[in-house]
Structures are given as structure tokens and as C-alpha cells.
Structure 1
Amino acid sequence: MSVATPMAISFAAPAGLLALLAIPLAILALTASRRRATRYAVRFPAAATLAIAAGTVPAWRRFVPTGLALAAMAALAVALAKPQHTVAVPVEGASVVLVTDHSGSMAATDVEPDRLSAAQQAATTFLGQLPAATRVGVVTYSDGPDGTRTPTLDRDVIKQTLEAQTAAGATATGEALQVALGALAPNGRAAARPVSAIVLLSDGKTTSGRDPVEVARTAKRLKIPIYTVALGTADATIPNPVSPLSPPIAVPPDPETLKQIADISGGRSFTSDDAGQLRGIYRTLGSRLATKHQEREITSSFAIGGLILLVAAGLLSLPRVGRLP
């Protein structure tokens, strides 16, 4: 799948737009010529008879050619300015690693049908938005990283790893991020390479392993941004695993830490408390990551359009078949 969405139009030679000033001048000249023709019109008593003999000309036949000619002038003037638009194109060889939390708190149902299922569905959306040439890896974790795939073009392998998750255990976000960094920068050094990024989804505070904020500093040194998504609502709970009669356990997300991770590494942070919103975030990330913006000239489109309009104006202004002898 290739991403090539036009975003904005700019001009390489904006001075060419000055040619648009010829349009109002042409309108003024046309208006003046018609007034002059009316002023010097000669009254002819047999005009009605001649009109019947020559036939009537529809009103649109008098105005449409002029309109087309003016439109042609506008298109050709824009062509002189060398218009170009910005498109997002895939970066060949780019790699992205999904880091997904499946700790026990991901069983919470504050996000329908539950946090983990919503995360899996959103990840599938993300994969569908990435360019086909982008390599994707995955690190799933709870007490520690337990499902790891190095970046690959095989989307099915990634989907299988994501679907194999079950909600259980603690939250070792720092350990998972370190494994993801190792997959993107095996030598531990920043190097000239295609775009690399990490997308982290978690719903809770780190409860075991290394500090994820320190890993984010390493990611900054390696020039690998981390995009974070905090999933869940502040009042979410899960049943107490010790006893169903015990009070439920609160499992609020930790957007503050995730934002700190994103800011330090050079990425962006998002929050979501709704499955649809989460898919939207992943869709946006999928369309933005592993792409770059390029300027592409579209002068020929305006030039061809202007010539077509000019030819149409000429054809419609030709005299009708059938004249007075």
C-alpha cells in the first residue's frame, strides 16, 4: 500500500500569478467594446425579417465561449506560476516497532469490549495504514517482554503475535522499550539509516524493571522517537484476583509518564478512553510514520486544462452552419 495524499498547493514561480491581472482587463475591454457597438448601432426597419431568416442564437452561445476563454486564461496564468503540491510518500526501508502492554490491568472493561481487545484491533488498523515497504516489529510485555518479533514485511506474523496476548502480570515498560531499541539499533549507536520509530501503548504505571524514562533518553540519543498512547479512564477497576469478595483494584492509566517518555525521545503522546478514538490515533500514526513529504510539480495539469478550455471556447464561438445567401 502506498501513501500519496496531496496536502497543499504552493508555487515555485509565484510572480507568474501576475498574469491573472489580464483577466479583469479582458473583461473591461469586452464590456467597453459591447457598449461601443450599441452606441453606433444603426436602426434597420427590416431587422425582424432578417432575424427570422438567420434564426435565433441561444443566449448561452454568446456567453459560454467568453467564460471558457477567461477560465483558460486563468488556468494558463496559474501554470506560469509552476504550481506544486505536497504529497506524503513512503520512506524505503523504514522500520516501526509496536510495544504493547498486556498486563493484568488490560482486562479492564472501561474501554469496550476491554482494553486489550481494543488495543489489538487498533494495532491491526495501524498495520493497514503503514506503507507496504515499511518493516514492522512488535514487543508485547507484562512482567517482562514475552513476545518479540524483529521488524519484518510479513504483517501476518505481527498480527499473530498481537493476537496471542492475554491480560495478566505486572508492567515492565522500561524493559520492553529497551528490547524495541535493540531491534531498531542493534549496535547501540545512532547511525545513518531510514526512519525508525516506536509506538508504545500502555494503560498503567511501570511496576517492575528499569525506568522507562531513562530508556527514553537512550532513544533520544539513538534518534528513535517514541510515540505513546495512554489507554483507559481514571476510575477504571478490575476484580480483585485474591477474592471476588475483596474490593476491586483501581487501574488508572499513567498519561504523565507516557507523555514524559514521548517528549524526551522526540515523539508525541496521546490519550484514549474509547476504542474508536484509539483506532483513530493508530490510523493517524500509521499514515504519518515511515513517510516523508515531497513537492511535486503539477504545471502540466493546469497547462493542459487551459488549452482544452481554449479549444472549447474557439469551437463554441464558430458561426453556426447555415447563413444567408
Structure 2
Amino acid sequence: MTFGSPLLLVSLVVPVAATLVYLWIERTPPSGAISFPNLAVVASIQGRSSWRRHLVAVLVLSTLILLCVSVARPKVSRATPVDRSTVVLVVDVSVSMNAVDVTPSRLEAARKAIGSFVDRVPPQVKIGLIAFSDEPVVLASPTTDKEALRGAIASLAPGYGTAIGDAVARGVDLVRLSTGEEGATAGAATKAGAVVLLSDGSQTRGILDPLQGADIARQAGIPVHTIALGTQQGTVTINRGGVDLVVLVPPDRLTLARIAEATGASTFEATDADRLAAVYKQLGRVVATEKKPREVTSAFVLAAASLLAAGIGLAGLWAPRLP
């Protein structure tokens, strides 16, 4: 929580002082005795006044605290969709995506998770899709047409190599074109765009290495969130010269983490389909929204008025009445 006028929080000394005075009065014995002939009435008053009196005091003091906080104009951050937001999904479709350590396969799990991501993001957010193996291929330019995106997701098919650096750079290009930032100076932040990179292996092809691609994203101010898909024990069978070879295909988690770190983004690991779906769900909240402060003074005033009304009502209800 933040405050529009934090210096006014000094007014909290008022309820603190009132609390101290109340406690002092409670502990100070009366200065003189009062003659009261009706002992039954006295016993009735004493039996009813202790905890009830304290409850009324707590309600009044709580009212003072809420009012003192409200004058400082409290604000809370709430996630709201980013205007002109663009998210480019960059998906590894190298042959290692055929591995079945993530059921039913890495590629099928990716299709399902990306489809859910597309369905969940706000309708005004543009989404692009790039598939990469030997080179990046744009399957869908950033669009709000979710049917077109579903068709692009269904067309994901495995290739061979893994050109991570080139894929990151191509994703950055799409974001800048979509958000109108293609002419921005180096280092200028593109707050309305992000890249989400999913890969399950190490770079084997391409012109740019992964960190060169990350540097391009960093200079453009575009975060590249990364997802390392698969387990260290994942394998695929590759036919070479008529001979089937079982090849180990672990994800390169370190490289993906370094890409995210270089661009000020988040990195994730997904070793099963449920975790992958959860990662994309979380990213849908991160990349398509931003937190904006919203003043909640009226809520504090309403709470204070409610407590004060409750205190007055209880005081009237429980006030001792002489017969």
C-alpha cells in the first residue's frame, strides 16, 4: 500500500494518545465514593459494563485509526490490461519436442498450454506466434483474432535444429513493429510488449547466439520470459544412416535463465504438462497486465463510518438504565 499524502499519517498520534488516556483512566481508581442505596442496581451495572465498555472503546479507536489513514489517501496496486499490449510467443519445434517425458509429448503439451494462454489473455491484447527450429518462422503476426491464433498453434510441427538467438531477435522485431516502437532508440523501454520463449534444448543452429539475441531484446527494452520444457532424462529416437539412435535431449536451463536475467524477465522450468499450463497461466497475468495504483480513501471512510455506527448503536443498547 502507498499513500498520496504520507506526511498526514502523523495524525495517527491522535488515536495512539487516545488509547493511552483510556488505559490510564481505566487503571486510575475513583477519587471518591458515591453513596448508592440500591445494591441490586449497582451489581447489575457492574456485571454488564466491563467487556462491553471495552468493545465500544475499541470500535471508536478503530474508527479514529481508519480516518487518520484515509486522510493520507491510501492507494493499492491493481492489475489492469496494458493498452496496445503485444505478446509474442516463441516456440521451439526442434525434433527434441517429440520427446514423451512430458506427456503426451513435449510438443502436444506446448500446444495445449499455449492454446489456454490465448484463451485467457484479455481480448485487446495482441498475440503473435513464432515457431523455430533451424530458423524462426512467423506463424501468426500479432493479432487479436483468436481463431487465427488457434489455427497457427495447430500448425506447429517438429523440425530439426535449434536457433534460439535468431528466434529471440525475430520475436523482438514483431513486438516493436506491433507496438509502433520500431524507431525507438536503444535502451528505450517498450512497456507494452513482451516475448515468451519456450525451448527444450540447446542452440545448434542460427546466426546469433542466445545471449546476442537477449542483448537485442535488452536494448529494445523488451523482456523475454523463458520456459525450459522437459526433464534431464528426456530422449528422442533419430534415424541416421538407417540406424535408429536414442538421443538424450535435456533442456538448456542455464542459457534460458541467462536470457531472462539479461532482459529483466522471469524464467521457469516445466517438467510436466500441468506445470507448463500453470506457467503460461501465470505469464498471462504478468505480460498482458500492469499494476496501477488506485486510491481507496472512500473504502477506509466507509469502514470508519460503519465502525462508528456500530459503536454508537452498541453504546445505546448496552447503556445502563436506572429503574
Q: What interval of TM-score do these two structures reach, taking the shorter chain for normalisation?
A: 0.7 to 0.9
Q: Could you tell me which of 73, 76, 80 is aligned with 1:89? A: 80
Partner residue, 2:194: 197
8 A Cα contact 2:191 2:222, kept in partner? no
Distance 1:28 1:207 in 2: 72
Q: Give the AA of the match of 2:131.
A: T
Work out the number of aligned pairs and report it: 316
Correspondence for 2:273: 275
* CA 209–258 in structure 1, closer or farther in 2 if over 3 Å, else same: same
Counterpart of 2:21 in structure 1 is 29
Task: Say whether 1:210 aligns with 2:207.
Answer: yes
Once the two structures are superposed, what CA deviation does each residue of 1:279-316 show, in whole Å capped at 9, x if it has no partner?
A: 33222222111333322221221122112212221222
* Structure 2 contact 119–146 (Cα < 8 Å) conserved: no
Residue 66 of structure 2 aligns with an amino acid whose one-letter code is A
206-215 vs 83-92, greater mean Cα deviation: 206-215
Cα deviation for residue 194 of structure 1 reads 5.6
Q: Distance in 1 between matches of 2:84 and 2:136?
A: 25
Q: Which runs of 5+ in 2 are unaligned?
A: none
Q: Does 1:44 align with 2:42?
A: no
In 1, Cα distance between equivalents of 2:197 and 2:44: 82
Percent identity, please. 33
The two structures, once aligned, show a CA RMSD in angstroms of 3.3
Unaligned stretches of 5+ residues in structure 1 = 1-8
Name the structure 2 match of 1:135.
Answer: 126
> Contact 2:80/2:289 (CA < 8 Å) preserved in 1?
yes
2:102 pairs, out of 111, 128, 139, with 111
2:10 aligned to which of 7, 18, 24 = 18
Counterparts in 2 of 1:111 and 1:58: CA distance versus 1, 3 Å: same
Q: TM-score, normalised by structure 2?
A: 0.82
CA distance in 2, matches of 1:271, 1:97: 19
Give 1:219's match in structure 2, choosing from 210, 217, 220: 217
Amino acid at match of 2:215: R
Give the partner amino acid of 2:10: L
Are residues 1:309 and 2:317 paired? no
**Is residue 239–residue 245 contact of structure 2 (8 Å, CA) maintained in 1?**
no
Cα deviation digits, residues 6-46 of structure 1 (max 9, x gap): xxx12233333333333343234334445667442324343
How far apart are 1:93 and its partner, in Å?
A: 0.5
What secondary structure does 1:239 align onto? strand
Residue 236 of structure 2 corresponds to which residue in structure 1? 238
Supply the AA of the counterpart residue of 1:299. Answer: T
- 1:28/1:171 CA distance change after superposition, 3 Å: closer
